[in-house]
Chains A and B, each alone.
Chain A
Amino acid sequence: MIETTHTTRHVLIALLSVVCFSSCGGGIQNAINPAGPQADNLSRLWWLMFIVCSVVFVIVMIALLLALRNRTQEAPSALQPMLQLPQQQERRRRNVVLSALSVTVIILFVFLIASFSAGRSMTAELAHKNGLAIEVTGHQWWWEIRYDDVDASNIFTTANEIHIPVGVPVTFTLRGADVIHSFWVPNLAGKKDLIPGKVNTIWFQADKPGVYRGQCAEYCGLQHAQMALWVVAEPQEQFNAWRQNQTQTSTPPASDSQKRGQQVFLSSTCVMCHAINGTPAGSNIGPNLTHIASRNTIAAATMANTRDHLAQWIKDSQTVKPGNKMPQNNLSEADLNSLVDYLQSLK
């Protein structure tokens, strides 16, 4: 089981890099590479507008160039200004301008209708969607993810990584904990703001399994640039397994090193902000670490979740992500090693 998640992670990371490097049109954070009905609607609307606008642009530019074809090198003062133009010429010009204007108005109406219908298809069914409900809360600078359920024992909290089953609509309730953030996974849907004191909603659905990257889209302070998240869309069974695991409390430490690591965790500043369910650590200022080892990335999708990165992050997160709210920790080499051992055991 441990082995498979490892492989999956490596495969996913490899996939991520390959897809991103390989093409402009592809990409796991790309608005015109839709992976769900929402983004698909939007991308179709985009292509409609793009094509129509391109044609308009080309036509106007051609008209402009034709208007410039009559050149002279004479000084302006040598040319007599024309204040009376032939009636017929004026009338012809007026007709052309009026027709161009009518075409403009018609195009705008087409856009308006296309836009309304795309908008309707995106929000109209929101109330009827009977899928998964997830609450996302934006913090400076990470995402708190809470899976809601009618059965309270199935509710759990994680961070920076959302798993969703393929083909199932997911409704997101969006809140802001401190400042305004914006939740945006371009391959799946448009963005919505997370505003303190307000509740916003959005839904999307992934039709293809894969990893989609999202990023905060509303400037939220120092580390706005490094506030990303992953959406992992997987087949239902895989999702169920993941979910089953997430609802459990943390794995108790097995080895000596892990035990020592837990002690380090509980006796140092970590415990002031982080929670690990099943231990006395229960603060929710920082991300919940109950299943930290099951996540692909750390620090809001800033780094891959590897041993080295974890150690580096714990020791000196300020170099990696200057200004983030995690303090520096002057742990001894041995303590750090044990702590990382322990965290890596939290599958």
Chain B
Amino acid sequence: MSHKEAQKAQKAQKRTVSEEELVAVMEREREELEQTWARPTGLRGWFTDTDHKAIALRYIKTAFVFFILGGIEAALMRIQLARPNNHFLSPDQYNQIFTVHGTTMMFLFAVPIMTAMGIYLVPLMVGARDVAFPRLNLFGYFIYLIGGIFLYTGFVLNTGPDAGWFAYVPLSGPAFSPGKRVDIWAQMITFTEISALVGAIVVIGTAFKMRAPGLSINRWSLFVWAQVVTSFMIIFAMPAVMLASGFLASDRLIDTHFFNPAEGGDAILYQHLFWFFGHPEVYIIFIPALGFISPIIITFARRKIFGYTALVLSLISTGFIGFGLWVHHMFATPIPQMGESFFTAASMMIAIPSGVQIFCWIATLWGSKLNIKTPLLFVLGFFAIFILGGLTGVMLASVPLDLQIHDTFFVVAHLHYVLIGGSVFPLFGAFYYWFPKWTGRMLSESAGRWNFWLMFIGFNLVFFPMHKLGLNGMPRRVYTYLPETGWGTLNLIASMGAFILAIGVLVFVINVVWARRAGVVAGDNPWAADTLEWTTTSPPPNYNFHNVPVVQGRYPIWQATADAPVVRGLSTTKRETLVSSVMDAQPELKFEIPGPSIWPVLVAVAAAVALIPGIFTPWAFLVGAILTGTVLTCWFFGDPNYKNKTARETGERSEPVPAARELQPKEI
């Protein structure tokens, strides 16, 4: 339907058309939208489909598979450590397993799955029909998938990296890690870096420029805020690890000496570069989870959030301070005391924004009538676990105390409390909360309770004793220990807890499989929640919204009036979406976004041609660069309008929105 027709339809609506007429128009529009936004199916669909929901779900499934793999590795380690002098794993196997476990959980599970949640939900929450760069988004998924498969291929072939997930030099350097193990690690980092950067750009573009009218920046859901802060952190943190892994790869491959002390290089430089990324990485994993918590709490407390502004400022300040405390990973290296003190203060300071958020959430829950369902249960689990992890974090910030507990099982306990408590529990809560939106069916509530309690009890059994083990002198990353050390009992308890935790995760998997077939049908808004994604059907149509809503407040559904306006005039025959202003979300343009394409996957493959053989010969980079350049050229010259060639011919890819003022909502 052309723009004029749309206007006509709008006028027709104003003339109070008859009910039947309206239904007929809507039905026709819906059919046209279905056709325009149709997704390629089958094998071709797998390689070309740019629908953000499909890509996000694929991301989530892939990351969850990696989560299970990482979990199996953890279980193997717990079996090995269950008793002293155990011979279940050889030291070489153990070292590969703990390295791949850490690498998987950080790079192949946590970051991608958090980005994926954003890729699925941000467009729906801001009222966009797709993400800002759908094809780039598809490319990001494939580059991630190739990186993950690459790491595991190496692992299966007994070439898994074995230098720890932060691969300190000189241990990871050419002299002490010959072979290709560390090269695979360093290159896998490159893949996931690219994917994370792409995800960040997509989220930022969508959140800032593709919002429904009225969704000014101060009405963003806290979920969107968290995703935006995370995305900016990714953009600033990734270059550091790019340098670290790039220098390491070139030290290993082409005999540079960035990190070789014998040739004037510096082993500590690597640590600085790595942790300048590595610490923000923790917040890149944690902040999106904060974004899950707020919507869940708002929904279940049935009231507006307490301290919206304070929460937003906390997210942003966490993002900033997160870059100022990397040295607390390096207190045992020779760093001047003055410098160390600065990082102690910065590390403790991060407790302030975290505290603000916890207090605001409790204040929101306070006095509300609560019907505690599984999503909220997981959020409550987050409180118990994360606060404990945060408090041990404050202890680790203190230089002298850190020197005792650094690199011990105390740190292992701490990092799992903040990462599993801070991220995985909210993530499971988010699964229970948004699963109906993704599939149209509810997950089982009683299985959800089992899932929660098994995970909660199992988790604490595994990790709480580790605090004591660390104080009792057990260093991390040891494949065995002597019986005389007296660490046996606590380790056995931890190992038993690991299996309870694993059963908890298994219950979740069964619940998902069951709910896909037999779950209660959810309807559009089963939780009676407030954010825009619940206005559309479950699962949402390919075009997300038939009529993009006009947002009337911070809680769009709760604040919508009966005669709430909707956006009319978006083409139903082109993949058109609204481009809006950064601050106030005033409609600026109607923009046609590209549809399915084969080029993204080809670029990913071309990049893999540069990167994978690149660990054997530097010439691969030359070949790969030429190849990538060629494919990218084709991508850019290729037809951006897969279905709709006329738009390209007539040059009407975008057009200004007329009478934008009219769409401006009244303040509520």
Contact = CB atoms under 8 A, between A and B. Distances in A.
Interface of A: 16-17, 20-21, 24, 27, 29-32, 39, 41-42, 45-46, 49-50, 53, 56-57, 60-61, 63-64, 66-68, 70-77, 79-83, 85, 89-90, 93-94, 96-97, 100-101, 104-105, 108, 111-112, 114-116, 118-119, 122-123, 140, 178-180, 182, 184, 186, 189-193, 195-201, 213, 215-226, 302, 322-323
Contacts of B367: 67, 70, 89
Given A30-B473, A197-B261, A323-B92, A97 B359 contact: yes
B398 A219 contact: no
Given A101-B355, A119-B341, A184 B475 contact: yes
Given A67-B366, A72-B369, A119 B337 contact: yes
A111 B391 CA distance: 12
| Chain B CB within 10 Å, residue with most, of A76, A82, A180 | A76
B475 A217 contact: yes
A294 B606 CA distance: 63
Interface string B510-530: 000000000000000101111
B344 interface: yes
A221 B477 CA distance: 10
Contacts of B632: none
Contacts of B400: 41-42, 45, 115, 118-119, 122, 190
15 contacts: A27-B473, A29-B485, A30-B471, A39-B404, A46-B395, A57-B388, A83-B304, A97-B310, A115-B401, A190-B332, A191-B332, A191-B407, A200-B333, A224-B475, A226-B480
Interface of B: 90-92, 95, 163-164, 168, 170-171, 175-176, 261-262, 265-268, 299-300, 302-304, 306-307, 310, 332-334, 337, 340-341, 344-345, 348-349, 351-352, 355-356, 358-360, 362-363, 365-372, 380, 383-384, 387-388, 391-392, 394-395, 397-408, 468, 470-473, 475-482, 484-486, 525, 527-530, 553, 555, 558-559
B404 A46 contact: yes
Contact of A182 (B171, B348, B380, B407): B407
Contacts of B395: 46, 49-50, 53
Contact of A191 (B363, B394, B403): B403
Given A97-B307, A180-B267, A24 B472 contact: yes
Contact of A197 (B267, B391, B530): B267
A179 B527 contact: no
B352 A225 contact: no
A217 B406 contact: yes
Given A101-B355, A226-B480, A192 B558 contact: no
A165 B285 CA distance: 49
Nearest to B94: A225
A57 to B, nearest CB: 6
Contacts of B366: 66-67, 93
Contacts of A192: 332, 334, 403
Nearest to B478: A225
A104 B355 contact: yes
Contacts of B95: 221-222
Which 8 A-B residue pairings sit nearest by Cβ, starting from the closest?
A: A197-B261, A190-B403, A29-B473, A225-B478, A115-B398, A77-B528, A20-B486, A53-B391
A186 B348 contact: no
A190 B370 contact: no
A93 B392 CA distance: 27
Contacts of B559: 83
Nearest to B489: A24
A195 B259 CA distance: 12
Nearest to A97: B359
Contact of A195 (B334, B403, B485): B334
A100 B471 contact: no
A74 to B, nearest CB: 6
A216 B266 CA distance: 21
Nearest to B467: A50
Contacts of A29: 472-473, 485
Contact of B363 (A30, A93, A213, A221): A93
Contacts of A195: 267-268, 333-334
A212 B397 CA distance: 26
B368 A70 contact: yes
Contacts of B369: 70-72, 74, 79
B170 A219 contact: no
Given A16-B484, A71-B370, A76 B363 contact: no
A73 B371 contact: yes
Contacts of B356: 97, 101
Contacts of B473: 27, 29-31, 184, 186, 213, 215
A24 B341 CA distance: 32
